Each structure stands twice: as C-alpha cells, then as structure tokens.
Amino acid sequence: MTLAAIAIGVGLVALVGLVHHYALYSLGRAAPRPDSSSTLAIQSTFIGLLLLHVAEILGLAAANRWLLGWDGLGGPASAPLSWADLIYLTGVNFTTLGYTQIELAGDIRIVTMLQSLGGFMILTWSATYLFTVCQRNWRRAENE
C-alpha cells in the first residue's frame, strides 16, 4: 500500500500543479492592460493567487476526505475528522511543513507529506510569479 500512497500523492500534486499552471496563465491574460494602474495589476494578481491557493487547499481537503474512506491507507490517530479539521490539516500541510495537532496513522501520512511538498512548490512558484508581475509593473511605472 506504500507504493499506492506514493502514486496517489504524486498524482494529486501533479494535478494541482496542472491546475495551477493554467490558473496562472488565466491570471496573466486577465491582468489589467499596461496602460492601467500598476497597483491594480499587482493587487489583482495577489487576490487571484490567494483565491487560487484557497481553492487548491479545498480541493486537496476534499481528496483527503475521500482517501480517508479507503481501507488500508490509514486515518486519524484519534477521533474522526470534521470538514473543518480536513481543511485545517490540508492548509497547514500546504503552507508549512505539516506539523499540526491532528495526527494521522498509516500510509495516508505519505500522501499528506507529498501534499506538503507540492504546497511548498506551488507557493514558491506563486511568489516568483507575483514578484515578476511586481517587477514588470514597477519598471513600467518608473519609465512613465
């Protein structure tokens, strides 16, 4: 089951990466035109990324809820997890190294560890994207 957990984790992260790629592409196309305010372009990109990350966390939380129903992958070490618990667990895994008060047992830990790696990759990708948008708009503002 460990290999299955690795495959599931890699598949989920790859899917989130694919969604993220197309969302960044869409954000770039929807960004305000060069003749508009640089502040508007930066802020709309920031808000778009925030909403995208929330959607990605909710999607992974839904996947985790589904996976916790599988026999053999493991589950919570104590009480069953509520939807809020799953969002919290997934959000912390996505944005940090995954240390929460919620303990999991079994191979589901491998899936959530890979989600943590994916979250780190997605967040650094987004930070680089936002920096590029800022740099482009600040340079444009300086040249005006």
- pLDDT per residue over 37-85, tens digit each? 778 889 999 999 999 999 999 999 999 999 998 888 999 988 899 999 9
**Domain of residue 123, CATH code:** 1.10.287
Q: How is 31-85 classified by DSSP, letter by letter? A: SPPTTS-HHHHHHHHHHHHHHHHHHHHHHHHHHHHHHHTSTTS-EESSSPPPHHH
Cα separation, 137 vs 132, whole angstroms: 9
**N residues, the chain:** 144
Are the CB atoms for 118 and 16 separated by under 8 Å? yes
Residue 116 pLDDT: 95
Write out the H or E segment, with its range, that includes residue 105: strand 104-105
- Domain interval for residue 102: 2-28+38-142
What is the per-residue pLDDT across 86-111, written as a single tens digit (0 to 9) for each?
999 999 999 987 788 899 999 999 99
Question: Is 114 within a domain?
Answer: yes
Question: Is 59 within a domain?
Answer: yes
Nearest 5°: the CA angle 84, 89, 94 is 125
pTM check: above 0.75:
yes
Cα separation, 8 vs 23, whole angstroms: 22
The tally of domains found in the chain comes to 1
Question: Is 33 within a domain?
Answer: no
- 38-68 and 83-95 helices cross at what angle (nearest 10)? 120
Are the CB atoms for 89 and 81 separated by under 8 Å? yes
Cα separation, 99 vs 96, whole angstroms: 7
Question: Is 64 within a domain?
Answer: yes
Residue 57 pLDDT: 98
Mean pLDDT, residues 16-39 taken together: 86
